[in-house]
Each structure stands twice: as structure tokens, then as C-alpha cells.
Amino acid sequence: MPDFSKRRLVQAMGVFPFATSLPARLAFASSSKVTREFDISAYRQALLPREHGQLVQLKQTLIRRYPSREQCMQMAAFFNAREGLLVIANDPTGGVADWEIRPGTKLRIHFYGDVPDVKIYRIKPTLEAAAELYREWALNQFWVRQRTRNSHRLDFVVVASNSSLNLEKQHIHHIKSINGGSIAVWFTQWRRHPFDRLYPDYTAKEPAQFAELLTHLADEGILALPYINSMLWDERLKPFQSMASQVAALSAEQEPVSYNRQLPFLRYACPQSTVWHKNIVDARNSILDATGKSCNGIYLDMLAAAAPIFCHHNQHGHKRQDAYAWQHGLRKLLEQTRGAIMVEGCAEVYLDLVDYLLMHLYTAQADQVPLWSAVYGDLVQTMGWNIPAGISESSMKALIQQAGSFGVGAQATPWMTSEPEASLAKRVYPSRPHSPEDIQLREIR
Ligand SMILES: [Zn+2]
């Protein structure tokens, strides 16, 4: 099973711990697949495309599903002291594949869709050598060739943890005064329900104040990115229960697939469901400012992070083991979504349809390496970084610098930490706008 993972969002009242963003079960056994095997017995280290990239000693079996945050590119490299081996699946369709790494023996790739002619290269045992060859391949794929988005470069993403007009206005202006650049606001707590409860009800908690705040941001040229979960619905949301059977991703036993054991009332929607598309698109389009204009951006949680599930619903228009249903359904949803889009995760197959990637989950881990930025760093802006609680001013500067070396934009914001952003900014964020040091940090990015 894929790694158990946690994510955290900042908000004024504390931290919401998440459980896994991967489905409760992945249908490995029942799916038809074709497996290709490669000898990796000569290698002790692997370079893997998990979010920003991971360089790991081969000790335990790993299984990761593409396309997702865990296996965001269709490659893996293996190193020993003298040489490296780069494997590129070479699947231009980006179909679902499980990458199974067995230390000391084999890499096995299980293809559920088209079976490509896998490319193998002997390379120097370095990240740079692997990234260079993969980039050469990736630049010719549809998710790069088709990318025409005119994404505005951001210097800071403010975390707005509620929709209270005065509080948020004050905080946003404080950030603007010390940053002076191009700003977006990520609204995490704007709904009338607590976080991770009662999706897809996207009614604002304080509708009039939220609309007025959106108007204010639009007038100031600030991008608004309200949170919408692109995949989950809550079985306890009564008005949605009549639609639930139409949108649910179903297991082989025809049961709705749960998000995880901790939040079993949250269920996956199938990205191929047109009823689900309508729900999400309507939710996004109903976020209006006080003048009736649609807000200029949106954040779609989980979209490019979660591992694909094989849905067994027989009325979604896909086959039972369709290796493309998940990807194509999400692409349709993105195509229908107006304005700027930030998504969670970095599955490469969506790159042509999004503006910003939230990539924060593994940034606190020591085995993280900047593989992503070496391949796609110039294509799309990545955002977000984990910050330890109680961080000092000097550590904060070092951390922003480290994030910059990974190609993470916007001063590593939104910051993921338990401390409310307003107090963190006052305590440790550089207070002089455009100081030589700030300029230096911008140049590093
Ligand atoms: Zn389905």
C-alpha cells in the first residue's frame, strides 16, 4: 500500500491534522495489468519522483501509483558509487501504473493502460544526470506541449483562516506592506462548516463580509484562492444524499470508497461523474464578490495529489478497469474551471491545465531532493513549505532560502505551521520591504 501521509493546514485557531490523502484501498489485485521487470540488484540507492523528489537508501519495498503526488513523474533512477540506471516508462498517455521497488532485486512496473516501450539509460549516479534526460523526454509530452496558461507570478500567498472582513483585511495589508510584491490569498476557512466536514456544501460562513472582502481583493489586484475539495463528499450532508449514489466512486463490491479510517464519512467522488463536475463547477462559480463578479481564482484540494482509484460504477461512462478514467475526468473538471487554479500535488499529467502547485507534504523530510525543479522548475510555480513550531528568525530565513533552492516560489508560502500567520509574520518574517536580503532571496528563486 502507498505511504500513509499527513497534511496540515494553517488557520488562526490551530492545526487540523489530516490522515492519508490516498484512498482507503487501491484495487491492485482485481485489476488487469501487464508487468515489466528490471534488474536493480546492483543498486543501493533510488531517486524517486515523490513530490519534490526523494533520494532514499533501498531498504524496504515501495509501491507507488502514477499519476499522483507519490509518483508524480513516470521515472525512477537507481544509483551505486560508480553508475546510475534511469528508467522512463515512456507512456505518452500518462495511464495508471504502479511502480513497485524491491530492494536488491527488481523494479516492477504494472501498467493498467497502454503498455509502453520502457526506456533504460546508463547514467552518472546523480540527480542532475537523471533530471536532464527525463526533462528532455517530458518536454515533448502533451502536458508540456499543450500548456498555454498565462500564470501570474506570485511573491506571497497569505493564509486567510476566516472570512471576517476587518481581521483579514488587516492581515493582508500587513503582509502587503512588508512584502510589496504580487499577492494571493488562500482562504482555508471560509465555509460555514468546520474543515473537512460536510463537503460539497460551499456556502460562506459570513456571506456578505466574504463577498466584500473579495471585492476589496479584486480592487487591489490580489488573487483570491478559496478552498474547494475536488474529490470528497460527506455522507452526512443531507441535501447531497440524493446525488451521492450518482457521484460515488464504487469499489468492486459496489461500496462507496472511503477517504480513510479516521474520516470514514468522507467518500470519494468519481472524477468521471458529470454530476460531480457540475457540483464543483457550480460551487466555484457561486463564489461571487459584492458586485456579483466571479472571484478570480480557486484552490482545488487533492486534485493532483491523490492516487487514482479504479471506480466500478457502471453509469459513469468508463470501463471497470479504465486506466484513464481518473485522469480524463479530472482534466474535464479543470477545463470547466474558470480563472487561476492552484491544486494540491504535482501529478505531471495536469500541468497544462493549472497555474500553481501546492507541494508541502514532504518538505520537512531529510530525504527530500530538488528533482521536480530540475525537470519542471521553469514551467509552473510551486508553493508551500512546512515550518516547525516556534521557529526562530534566523531559522526562518534559512528555511526560506532552502525552499528557494528547491524552486519553491512566493517565499515558501503558504507556510504550513501551527502558529497563526499574522503572529508568525510579526515575529520572524523580514520586516523591511525590498531589503538587500529580500532581493537576494528573490534572485535565488
Ligand atoms: Zn466512476
Q: What is the DSSP string of 87-126?
A: EE---TT---EEEEE-TTSEEEEEESS-----EEEEE-SS
Judge whether 263 lies within some domain.
Answer: yes
Q: Show which of 108, 125, 145 is a domain's final residue.
A: 145
277 lies in the same domain as 157: yes
Least-confidence region, from 42-46, 123-127, 188-192: 188-192
218 lies in the same domain as 308: yes
The Å distance, Cα 317 to ligand 1 centre, comes to 7
The Å distance, Cα 250 to ligand 1 centre, comes to 7
Does the pLDDT of residue 109 top 70, yes or no? yes
The string of pLDDT tens digits covering residues 127-179 is: 999 999 999 999 999 999 999 999 999 999 999 876 677 888 888 888 888 87
Q: Show which of 120, 145, 170 is a domain's final residue.
A: 145
* CA atoms 249, 250, 251, 252: torsion sign: negative
Judge whether 173 lies within some domain.
Answer: yes
The Å distance, Cα 303 to ligand 1 centre, comes to 16
166 lies in the same domain as 101: no
Of residues 84 and 6, the one with the higher pLDDT is 84
Q: Please tell me what DSSP assigns to residue 412.
A: G
Number of Cβ within 10 Å of residue 151's Cβ equals 15
219 lies in the same domain as 337: yes
Phi/psi for 84 (5° steps) reads -130, 160
Judge whether 27 lies within some domain.
Answer: no
Determine the Cα–Cα distance for residues 125 and 408; give it in Å rounded to an integer. 25
Judge whether 400 lies within some domain.
Answer: yes
180 lies in the same domain as 59: no
The predicted model scores a pTM of: 0.91
Read off the pLDDT of each residue in 410-416 and give the average, rounded to a whole number: 94
Judge whether 355 lies within some domain.
Answer: yes
120 lies in the same domain as 214: no
75 lies in the same domain as 223: no
Confidence band (pLDDT; 50, 70, 90) for 445?
A: very low
Grid coordinates belonging to 253:
463490491
Does the pLDDT of residue 22 top 70, yes or no? no
Judge whether 166 lies within some domain.
Answer: yes
The string of pLDDT tens digits covering residues 284-330 is: 999 999 999 999 999 999 999 999 999 999 999 999 889 999 999 99
111 lies in the same domain as 164: no
Confidence band (pLDDT; 50, 70, 90) for 183?
A: very high
Confidence band (pLDDT; 50, 70, 90) for 89?
A: very high
Judge whether 203 lies within some domain.
Answer: yes
Domain count, the chain: 2
The string of pLDDT tens digits covering residues 346-382 is: 999 999 999 999 999 999 999 999 999 999 999 999 9
254 lies in the same domain as 320: yes
pLDDT of residue 427: 86
pLDDT of residue 4: 27
Given the C-alpha cell 507570478, which residue does it identify? 153
Does the pLDDT of residue 432 top 70, yes or no? no
For 49, the domain range is 34-145
Does the pLDDT of residue 433 top 70, yes or no? no
SS3 352: helix
Determine the Cα–Cα distance for residues 27 and 45; give it in Å rounded to an integer. 28
Judge whether 297 lies within some domain.
Answer: yes
Given the C-alpha cell 528573490, which residue does it identify? 442
183 lies in the same domain as 280: yes
The Å distance, Cα 260 to ligand 1 centre, comes to 19
177 lies in the same domain as 131: no
The Å distance, Cα 177 to ligand 1 centre, comes to 48
The Å distance, Cα 269 to ligand 1 centre, comes to 8
Confidence band (pLDDT; 50, 70, 90) for 180?
A: confident
The Å distance, Cα 320 to ligand 1 centre, comes to 8
**CB–CB of 160/174 below 8 Å?**
no
CATH code of 421's domain: 3.20.20.70
The Å distance, Cα 200 to ligand 1 centre, comes to 18
Q: Show which of 77, 112, 145 is a domain's final residue.
A: 145
340 lies in the same domain as 395: yes
